[in-house]
Amino acid sequence: MMAEAFERRLVAIAAADISGYGRLVGLDEEGTLTRLRSLRGEVIDPTIAAHRGRIVKTTGDGILVEFQSVVDAVRCAVALRCATAARETGLPPQRHIAFRSASISATCGSGRRHPWRRRQHGSSPRV
């Protein structure tokens, strides 16, 4: 019997969500969603692409992105936080859209089996 060949690759997975999303939507649902769509098209998607990332999944206030390297993931996370903060400077602080809970994990897997995850230093880095 011939052994099945597996393609394995090492990738970095980054996850982030918006701080206080429920509060923001409660204050101004339409305005928050409009700003988030604009932010996604003008900042988030281009920044992820520039750092060789691929969006795996989005939720209302969260995003899961795959990168070819941990370095690209960290650089992208920092760039997104800085660019988002720069866009929000004209608004009152309670209306700022800000990403938090960014965690970056190195993952190695075949795509057919459950990948293993390893977090260095025992916790997720805040970026």
* C-alpha of 16 from chain center: 4
Cα 95 to Cα 44: distance, rounded to the nearest angstrom: 18
Residue 72 confidence (pLDDT) = 93
- All domains of the chain in start order, with CATH: 12-121 (3.30.70.1230)
From 73, 77, 97, select the one nearest 85 (Cα to Cα). Answer: 97
From 101, 76, 107, select the one nearest 12 (Cα to Cα). Answer: 107
**pLDDT, tens only, 26-78:** 999 999 999 999 999 999 999 999 999 999 999 888 999 999 998 999 999 99
CA dihedral sign of residues 126, 91, 86, 32: positive
The pTM for the full model equals: 0.75
